Amino acid sequence: MSSLANKHIVLGITGGVAAYKAAELVRLLIKAGAEVQVAMTEGAQQFITTVTMQALSGKPVFTSMWDGGVPNGMPHIELSRNADAIVIAPASADFMAKLLHGRADDLLSALCLARDCPLLIAPAMNKQMWENPATQRNVAQLIRDGITMLGPDSGDQACGETGMGRMLEPEDLLTHINSFFTPKLLNGKRILITAGATQEAIDPVRVITNLSSGKMGLALAQAAVDMGADVTLVHGKVEIPLPHSTRNISAIDAETMYKTVMQHVANQDIFIGVAAVADYSPAQKNTQKIKKSEQTLSLEFNKNKDIIADVASLPNPPFCVGFAAESENLLQYAEQKRIAKKLPLIVANMATQAMGSDDNEVTLLDDVGAHHLPNTSKTETASLVLRHIAQML
């Protein structure tokens, strides 16, 4: 989430049940390195207290135009002066109508009118209110006015109904806000990524797999979206939720993953093979469960085709980036793989350190040499790897 580091965000909260989610959003923004100044409408204070928001943001919360805490006595100008963005979450139907008309009869609406920074709003309302032609007209005009809409989502609502109008969850809002601030270094690039572990069936109930969690591949997919790329994600077994803004295709075994990649590789600019693909698959397809009888069981395996090596050997290949997970001689083995598979770039990491963990420490190997990256989160590693790819391109 490095794009939010040192960003000044004014978080506006308006009156709606979803206001309680704004508390979690503040926490997440601060964890991602942002500084958060909260401003609340009177309605918002019916749902969540300024005390909570002050405790979480570490700053006094502003609620009134007539607040004496701002040195020049003009909070509506002062609060947005240093802001990199104003985020309204939740944004009620009434507040959106106010924004549309340029009203400035409370602190938050005045702040929005007087701003000199982007405005992002996360609508939250009952589905009838959302679907009302008046709201829909307002949404269309607010988008034309350059305001960024974050959601809403569809699902269960506090009023007991189900439909469109739910505010996005705080984690999703954070992803969108982070994406908003990420430089679009890969704008318009088409990227195909494989991620996760393959599972090779022994019989209908048993598989051979590995410890890959898919975290590195999914972090790369999200970071690529944030940088403006169009991402197709071919994934095996993964332990965390898939990103929303990528084209996700499940491919559970090595053979299916090979076929899926070959089906989608045409016209891709970049191919990143992060998946831990099984090198061998059981030679025999057992359609019935193998019964326990002998003291030992032998299985025969066939070698699988190497997806990335075959992609890199296509007549007009995308820019291919491989991953090498090793348990010894990391750089030597990784470089051998890079040469053997004809890859312009390979990311070397220790299997014992990388598999399943949230952090990673990698070295990038290309024609120029080795570039060591610090030990950091996979999210941060993903963004550094993609910056290096963007530079190479």
Which residues would be at the binding site for ligand C5P (CB under 6 A)? 194, 254, 273-275, 277, 304, 306-308, 322-324, 337
What is the dihedral sign for C-alpha 327, 330, 336, 337?
Answer: positive
Q: How far is the CB of 384 from ligand C5P (least distance, A)?
A: 17
Q: Which of 350, 304, 347, 339 is nearest to 322 (CA)?
A: 347
The residue whose two tokens read 């030597």 is 332
Q: How far is the CB of 298 from ligand C5P (least distance, A)?
A: 23
Buried b (16+ CB within 10 A) or exposed e, 72-105: eeebbebbbeebbbbbbbbbbbbbbebbbeeebe
If the CB atoms of residues 47 and 333 are measured against ligand C5P, the closer one turns out to be 333
Distance CA 143, CA 96 (A): 11
Q: How far is the CB of 239 from ligand C5P (least distance, A)?
A: 17
If the CB atoms of residues 141 and 209 are measured against ligand C5P, the closer one turns out to be 209
Q: How far is the CB of 263 from ligand C5P (least distance, A)?
A: 15
Query: Among this protein's residues, is 159 annotated catalytic?
Result: yes
If the CB atoms of residues 225 and 275 are measured against ligand C5P, the closer one turns out to be 275
If the CB atoms of residues 319 and 323 are measured against ligand C5P, the closer one turns out to be 323
**Which of 112, 117, 159, 320 is labelled catalytic?**
159
Q: How far is the CB of 225 from ligand C5P (least distance, A)?
A: 20
Buried b (16+ CB within 10 A) or exposed e, 344-376: bbbbbbbbebbbeeeebebbbbbeeeeeebeeb
Distance CA 297, CA 310 (A): 33
If the CB atoms of residues 229 and 307 are measured against ligand C5P, the closer one turns out to be 307
Distance CA 47, CA 362 (A): 46
By annotation, the residues acting in catalysis are 159
